[in-house]
Amino acid sequence: MIKNEWLYGFVNGEGCFTFGGGNRISPIFTITLRLSELEILKEIQKKLKTGKITLHNKYNSCSLQVCSKNINIIIKYFDGKFIGDKKIDFENWKLGIKLWESNNHKYSEELYNKINKLMPKYRHI
């Protein structure tokens, strides 16, 4: 059984908070691991009680994703639990979600640009 503290630390290192692109923007939480670590994702999925696991055989990896309709489960579970860059990413992701919600979950170029500014692809020291 996975303990909360272990999961907070694991996601602090391995989790990804982002938004799906294209003509539809929606918040996504993802953890991607090697296929040999699939059981870890299954345990995390069981702990969170949400998420879809996808196998990527071509890349020898697997991922757990939680998308828009269950994203509040992720926010409640992890709010206030991160440190460092992950804390900044998580807080910016939550701001992006507020923008997305205020736009009634509809795509617009303006919304895309606002969220894109919140979610930097690379951090510089």
Pick the CATH number of 4-69+77-117 from 3.10.28.10, 3.40.50.261, 3.65.10.10, 3.40.50.12280: 3.10.28.10
Contact (Cβ atoms closer than 8 angstroms) between residue 66 and residue 93:
no
Residues, the chain, total? 125
Measured between alpha carbons, how far is 20 from 67 in angstroms, rounded to an integer? 9
Contact (Cβ atoms closer than 8 angstroms) between residue 122 and residue 21:
no
Measured between alpha carbons, how far is 28 from 59 in angstroms, rounded to an integer? 20
Measured between alpha carbons, how far is 73 from 96 in angstroms, rounded to an integer? 16
Q: For each of the chain's 125 residues, which pLDDT tens digit applies?
A: 899 999 999 999 999 999 886 677 889 999 999 999 999 999 999 999 999 999 999 999 999 999 988 999 999 999 999 999 999 999 999 999 999 999 887 888 888 888 888 876 654 43
Which DSSP category does 82 fall into? Answer: -
